[in-house]
Chains A and B, each alone.
Chain A
Amino acid sequence: MPEIAAAHADPGAHAHHPALQHHFQTLEQQQEASTLGMWIFLVTEVMFFGGLLMAYLLYRVWYPLAWSEGSLELDIRLGGFNTVVLIGSSLTMALAVRSAQTGAQKATVRWLLLTMALGLTFLVVKFFEYREKYLLHHIPGPNFQFEGPEAAHVQIFLSLYFGLTGLHALHMVVGFCILAVITWMAHRRRFSPEWYTPVELSGLYWHFVDIVWIFLFPLLYLVDRAHHLS
């Protein structure tokens, strides 16, 4: 622990920063702890999605035809649009972190608001996708209707589709709420180049949720599309 030992030798350096909690010795120690905590949290998230992806993997190997059929039911234009929206929101989020780092307070707020707007766009598009599935009775359960020899297995595909995208959408909603709080804090000028950990960590979370979608989009929308290009 050389860094902490060194920090102990110089306890007064940041002792008066308002964001320093009393059980930490220095602001650096606090930031390192928070960052490590966030990364570990993201590891738990990987395992969380991992359970569903394991089910996806097994059934995709068992029922390739149903996976092809089910995937073609999804709207690739809306899915593709949402992919672009999310990648764009990752850019704006990165710019928000950058602004916080350089102390550009107004720019931070602006980029955060734009990130939230893009996140909201994603959720609205997702809502219309779900709505279409509802109207077609493609939501798994007692009212599920699907024509074709693979109907039962397509129901498994769509169960996993709703499980995975639903869980992802839930993470988007949580991310949206976190960003709302961070934006408010940024607006109140609570961050400085010296301390902007919350912006950075919510950025990590936001990027993680984006990356999950980068996996989900091909896994769900692009199964066997190549054979059906017309």
Chain B
Amino acid sequence: MTTTVLPRVNYLNVRHGVASWLLTKDHKRIGILYLLVVTIAFFLGGLFATGIRIELTTPQGDFVSADTYNRLFTMHGVAMVFFVLIPSVPAILGNFALPLMIGAKDVAFPRLNLLSWYIFVIGFFFTLAAMVFGGVDTGWTFYTPYSSLYSNSNVLMTGIGVFIAGFSSILTGLNFMVTIHRMRAPGMTWFRLPLFVWALYATSLVQILGTPVIAITVGMLALERALGFGIFDPRLGGDPVLFQHLFWFYSHPAVYIMILPPMGVISEVIACFSRKNVFGYSFVAFSSLAIAVFGFLVWAHHLFVAGISPYSAMVFSFLSFAVAIPSAVKTFNWTATLYQGAIWWRAPMLWVFGFIGLFLIGGLTGLFLASLGLDVHLHDTYFVVAHFHYIMVGGAIMGFFAGLHYWWPKMTGRMYPNWAATTAALLVFFGFNLTFFPQFILGYLGMPRRYHAYSEEFQVLNVLSSAGASILAVGYTLIASYLVFSLFKGQAAGANPWRATGLEWKTESPPIPDNFTETPIVNEGAYKYSEREIEVA
């Protein structure tokens, strides 16, 4: 690490004061603004999870009432899904890195980008208000008719929050898509794009095609709840399963909004820290698109026990298996990238290894759930909870931290202490497995999800899970601490602390307001590691 000084004028210090942040159109600053709100939502969601894990240390429902417990897991899900997982990588890291990576001054629509953040914050405030004024108890899935007719909690206000925040996601997807089409620097052809950009493109596709459907679905739910319209009401002949179809038409692809961008991060980091080009670049790029497309055709695997026809269930089961193919393509290609690489054990790489292992377990257990027969046994058990936490926390959050640790020196110009980052990565990895691996076993043994009390024989595994959760909490707090510490005391990172080859590393850290002193001319691909290492040898 060289001790260079920070650039004299950069995007962080070019203007000062709160107004300069709240009115900024700079994609880098907007990325930071998202980081702030998402961090708040993350710790809020973590707080609810803490309540859940405390309750579940004993079989009796003694810490909170059943009703409070319902609210805790619902608000945990709403906060984490809509306000952490969906915006985390695209809106924070994507906003910061995308224009830099393609050699642009900004995204295509900077004002719209800022508006997206405000929409996100307004949605968050509505949801927050719903939480403060008593919470919501339907589960994050808002299934009708409970949500539309019977629940006594703040379904409407939460729904409005989710509806509003959805438009932030749509507009960000739109913005990124146009940016990737129209803002690339001269010479930046599609097949020279970094794989993170391909992943963001695939994600944008899902965001613009899926998110409007959840918006209108929540809108219909609101009409039914607030005005008494009949759309899903079984008393009028309406079909609650239609709600489930429409809900999952978005919410299953939403899983790919959460996981595709982290997959892009993994491709960036793994190439840099094994000093090798990504193996099978075009396969990794197209597998992102394949996941985005297949992702739209599998939603009904959430409805296998909801009374859908066995024939459509078979088709959806088959298609759900098919999604494993592009996912496996990625995993194999990452592994092949590591092969004979010069692996550099720094913090971002530790998160990558965590991601690959945990995503593998999460993905394979997904195949268990996509099997029609086995799903009848495992549906609505802790097996499902463990499965999607392996994908969403083990996959998406780990990938987010890989990216955050990778680009942090670029974002702030400063390095965090490597020993602290290593400790945190290991803590989170062990804490995570201790929290969620027992839940696979609990689910297999038949413990249903969403209950605040359970049979005594499940206690040992639940205590292990709660113990793991406390390790996770320590790990996440540690990350927050050393990242904040690094802002003030971190060593200056220099333009390219990882000796990485993307365009974003060719400008200063933190970058100047316009990103590059002059528009870069691109005449090579994003990954030039192999050639470079050979030269060195």
Find chain B residues with CB under 8 A from A156 CB: 230-231, 236-238
Find chain B residues with CB under 8 A from A32 CB: 182
Q: A5-B186, A8-B186, A36-B182 are in contact. Are A51 and B230 (CB under 8 A)?
A: no
Looking at the assembled complex, report how far the CB atom of A27 sits from the nearest CB atom of chain B, in whole angstroms: 13
- Give the CA-CA distance A84 to B112 in the complex, in Å: 35
Find chain B residues with CB under 8 A from A21 CB: 110
- Give the CA-CA distance A32 to B109 in the complex, in Å: 12
Name the one of A5, A51, A153 contacting B217, with C-beta atoms under 8 angstroms: A51
B213 and A51 within 8 A (CB): yes
Contact code string B501-534 (vs A, CB < 8 Å = 1, else 0): 0000000000000000001000000000000000
Find chain A residues with CB under 8 A from B238 CB: 59, 156
**Is there a chain A Cβ closer than 8 Å to B104's Cβ?**
yes
Find chain B residues with CB under 8 A from A22 CB: 105
Interface centre among B215, B220, B236 (most CB of A within 10 A): B236
Please give me the residue from chain B that is nearest to A53 by CB atom. B216
Find chain A residues with CB under 8 A from B109 CB: 33, 37
> How big is chain B's contact interface, by range?
35 or more
Which of B204-212, B305-313, B359-367, B478-486 contacts its partner? B204-212
**Is there a chain B Cβ closer than 8 Å to A63's Cβ?**
yes
B242 and A40 within 8 A (CB): no
**Is there a chain A Cβ closer than 8 Å to B370's Cβ?**
no
A141 and B231 within 8 A (CB): no
For the complex, would chain B's binding face be called helix, strand, loop or mixed by DSSP majority? helix
Q: A8-B519, A36-B178, A40-B174 are in contact. Are A47 and B209 (CB under 8 A)?
A: yes
Contact code string A151-168 (vs B, CB < 8 Å = 1, else 0): 011011001101100010
Interface centre among A40, A162, A163 (most CB of B within 10 A): A40
**Is there a chain B Cβ closer than 8 Å to A58's Cβ?**
yes
Given A23-B183, A43-B209, A51-B216, 8 other A-B contacts at CB below 8 A? A1-B184, A4-B182, A8-B519, A40-B174, A40-B208, A156-B236, A162-B223, A163-B219
Please give me the residue from chain A that is nearest to B167 by CB atom. A44
**Is there a chain B Cβ closer than 8 Å to A127's Cβ?**
no
- Give the CA-CA distance A25 to B186 in the complex, in Å: 11
Please give me the residue from chain A that is nearest to B209 by CB atom. A47
For the complex, would chain A's binding face be called helix, strand, loop or mixed by DSSP majority? helix
**Is there a chain A Cβ closer than 8 Å to B132's Cβ?**
no
A162 and B229 within 8 A (CB): yes
A33 and B186 within 8 A (CB): no
**Is there a chain B Cβ closer than 8 Å to A194's Cβ?**
no
B186 and A4 within 8 A (CB): yes
Name the one of B184, B215, B231, B235 contacting A48, with C-beta atoms under 8 angstroms: B215
- Give the CA-CA distance A32 to B183 in the complex, in Å: 10
A155 and B230 within 8 A (CB): yes
Looking at the assembled complex, report how far the CB atom of B171 sits from the nearest CB atom of chain A, in whole angstroms: 8
Please give me the residue from chain B that is nearest to A11 by CB atom. B519
Q: A33-B182, A51-B217, A159-B230 are in contact. Are A40 and B237 (CB under 8 A)?
A: no
**Is there a chain B Cβ closer than 8 Å to A184's Cβ?**
no
A163 and B231 within 8 A (CB): yes
A33 and B178 within 8 A (CB): yes
Find chain A residues with CB under 8 A from B178 CB: 33, 36-37, 40
Name the one of A33, A52, A140 contacting B228, with C-beta atoms under 8 angstroms: A140
Looking at the assembled complex, report how far the CB atom of B205 sits from the nearest CB atom of chain A, in whole angstroms: 10
> Which residues of chain A from 44 to 76 have any CB-CB distance to chain B below 8 Å in the complex?
44-45, 47-52, 54-55, 58-59, 62-63
B182 and A29 within 8 A (CB): yes
**Is there a chain A Cβ closer than 8 Å to B106's Cβ?**
yes
A163 and B108 within 8 A (CB): no
**Is there a chain B Cβ closer than 8 Å to A41's Cβ?**
yes
B186 and A58 within 8 A (CB): no
Looking at the assembled complex, report how far the CB atom of B196 sits from the nearest CB atom of chain A, in whole angstroms: 19
- Give the CA-CA distance A141 to B228 in the complex, in Å: 4
Chain A to chain B contacts (Cβ below 8 Å), 25 pairs: A1-B184, A1-B188, A8-B519, A29-B182, A41-B174, A43-B208, A47-B208, A48-B212, A51-B246, A54-B242, A55-B220, A55-B242, A58-B242, A59-B237, A62-B237, A140-B230, A141-B227, A141-B229, A144-B228, A152-B235, A152-B236, A159-B223, A159-B229, A163-B231, A167-B216
**Is there a chain A Cβ closer than 8 Å to B170's Cβ?**
yes
- Give the CA-CA distance A181 to B26 in the complex, in Å: 26
Looking at the assembled complex, report how far the CB atom of A196 sits from the nearest CB atom of chain B, in whole angstroms: 18
A51 and B220 within 8 A (CB): yes
- Give the CA-CA distance A29 to B246 in the complex, in Å: 37
